[in-house]
Amino acid sequence: MDGAHDMGGVAWSGPVRPEPNEPPFHAEWERRAFALTLAMATPGGWNIDMSRFARENRPANDYLGMSYFQIWLAGIERLMLERKLIEADELAAGKVLHPAKPVARILKRDDVAAVLRRGGPTEREAKAPALFAVGDRVRAKDIHPVTHTRLPQYVRGHVGQIELLHGSHVFPDSNSRGNEDPQWLYTVTFAGSDLWPDAPDPGLTVSVDAWEPYLERV
């Protein structure tokens, strides 16, 4: 979807100023919000793309008015409400008001390290040959889906070149709706001067990982 979360390369976002020696978390509640988001995917049954869409699918003022982990917390609240794991009155009260809902699985403390180490592999068997090869010139489609997508707005409509072919992987756009629909994944390199004519570095290039449905042959 087009939203405030997709701020790469937009004029209003301003420069990125990294915090020197920034810690992973600035407060204990941020650590807990992160842990809860990972742990609740097991009983909740959602995948990474559903989780991302739950965080990004909110009005711009709402999104931009939150800190990073406030957005994560808002996302898990939405996912739990959608799956009836909590009720709205419990969220408003900030405490349990109803009996716990039965779930098929939970993430146990002793299993956390192994689960994180295993991750969630996304490579799948290809359904058809790749449409593009390394060196091909392609255009990123000018799409504006209302659901989740991983194609940045700033490359849409621009021409780039296939740099790498990564095999067939779960397609985020459909995976956010519960359908893996594997597609070929490429790294596409764009000239910075094509994306931003006033780019100060004429030699700047930008590489984007893009699934096949995002691309068309030039």
> Looking at residue 150, what is its pLDDT?
96
- Provide CB contacts within 8 A for 168, sequence distance 6+: 123, 124, 125, 126, 127, 182, 183, 184, 185
> Looking at residue 15, what is its pLDDT?
79
> Looking at residue 1, what is its pLDDT?
75
> Looking at residue 127, what is its pLDDT?
93
54: left (phi over 0), alpha (psi -120 to 50) or beta: alpha
> Looking at residue 12, what is its pLDDT?
73
At 197 the three-state DSSP class reads: coil
Q: Are 36 and 106 in contact (CB under 8 A)?
A: no
> Looking at residue 170, what is its pLDDT?
98
Burial label for 152, CB within 10 Å (0-12, 13-18, 19+), is: middle
Nearest to 173 by CA among 205, 207, 141, 135: 141
Mean pLDDT by 10 residues, the chain (218 residues): 82 82 96 93 94 94 94 96 95 94 92 89 96 98 95 96 98 97 98 89 94 98
Enumerate domains of the chain plus CATH numbers: 11-118 (1.10.472.20), 137-217 (2.30.30.50)
The pTM for the full model equals 0.90
> Looking at residue 198, what is its pLDDT?
84
